[in-house]
Structure 1
Amino acid sequence: MKTNTKWSIILILVIVACSVVTGIVYNSLSDKIVENTPKYDNKDTLDIASLIPDADSLKPLDIQGGDEAVKEVNEAYAGDELKGYLIKTDSKGAYSTLSIATAITIDGKISGITILSQKERKDWEMV
């Protein structure tokens, strides 16, 4: 009985020591952690021209029915000339929802894809 109590106390002390060290390290690095945390949500800063060359404005299309993953469809214009379409979709990732914008030119080619937002955990990736 004395041996079990002794090892239990040692184990508890080791756990407490590890917790204290972890807390100290986290507190000393918290500014760097915030600084290096990636910012994935760029919904408000979508660069249309990088997805569809020459396009400078979007005009939303009214979509009804169809696939529920499609959240928004826009026509992309350069002035009054139709340059293509920008489709915003949501897709289920491993741990969260991925919001993706796909640009398609008027000749049917994909001209760009960008991730608008995602909350996937990089530290859980398989290597």
Structure 2
Amino acid sequence: MKNEVIKFGLILFIITAVSTGIVSTIYGITQPIIETQKIEKDNKARQEILSVAKSFEKIEKEFGEDIVEVYKGVDTDNNTVGYTIKNISKGYGGDIEITTGITADGKISGVSLGSMSETPGLGAKSKDPAFIDQYNDKEAKQLKVIKNAVPKDDEIVAIAGATITSNAVTKGVNQSIELFENELNK
């Protein structure tokens, strides 16, 4: 009986060790591919929300714990045409990755949402054009969320049933606006 327990324990250990080795090898092979795809997705998002830029230069500076990255968009003459600011905001289902494009003249040129775990059918609707396009062409001034009304220039209409997500996205956009006003637009 004792020998059988040792035998089965040894078999289980070998199976586990081989499985771990296989998973580790596959992870090592796929990790560079996943990273390349993430970089391409981020580049595409930057270009979509700040389309006047011909190229982007990463600003290597710490801006705060929720600011993930800041890029300066430049035209063909290397003139600054705006910035893209990626940050993290806390939504209903967890972190929401928000990238905001702000032109050099102080207009929001677009907002893109990356990874998030919001509720399907509710908070996940924040990626829908009906919600996210509300930010386009607004002045880069602090915005607020409202419910069921005609929005003023500084207001965003919340997604029905997803006010927490709507507020989280707007908080992230406002954080980008604040960074633009206080540090980038000088």
Give the TM-score, by structure 2 length.
0.41
Amino acid at match of 2:82: G
**Deviation of residue 67 (structure 1)?**
2.7
Deviation per CA, 1:3-37: give whole Å up to 9, x if none: xxxxxxxxxxxxxxxxxxxxxxxxxxxxxxxxxxx
Aligned position for 1:76: 73
Q: Which has the larger radius of gyration?
A: 1
Task: Return the alpha-carbon distance in structure 2 between the equivalents of residues 93 and 67 of structure 1.
Answer: 19
Amino acid at match of 1:61: I
Give the secondary structure class of the aligned counterpart of 1:108.
coil
Deviation per CA, 1:93-120: give whole Å up to 9, x if none: 1112100100111111111111022111
Q: Which has the higher contact order (CA 8 A, sep 6+)?
A: 1
Gaps of 5+ in 2: 1-37, 124-160, 163-186
Aligned position for 2:106: 108
Task: Return the alpha-carbon distance in structure 1 between the equivalents of residues 121 and 100 of structure 2.
Answer: 27
Identity %: 28
Give the secondary structure class of the aligned counterpart of 2:40.
helix
The structure carrying a bigger helix percent of its residues is: 2
The structure carrying a bigger strand percent of its residues is: 1
Give the secondary structure class of the aligned counterpart of 1:72.
strand
**Deviation of residue 123 (structure 1)?**
5.0
Aligned position for 1:85: 83
Aligned position for 1:39: none
| Distance change in 2, residues 1:99/1:47 (3 Å) | closer
Write out the 4+ residue segments of structure 1 that deviate beyond 4 Å after TM superposition.
none
Total equivalences in the alignment: 86
Give the TM-score, by structure 1 length.
0.57
2:57 counterpart (45, 55, 59): 59
Amino acid at match of 2:69: E
Could you tell me whether the CA contact under 8 Å between 2:53 and 2:81 is conserved in 1? yes
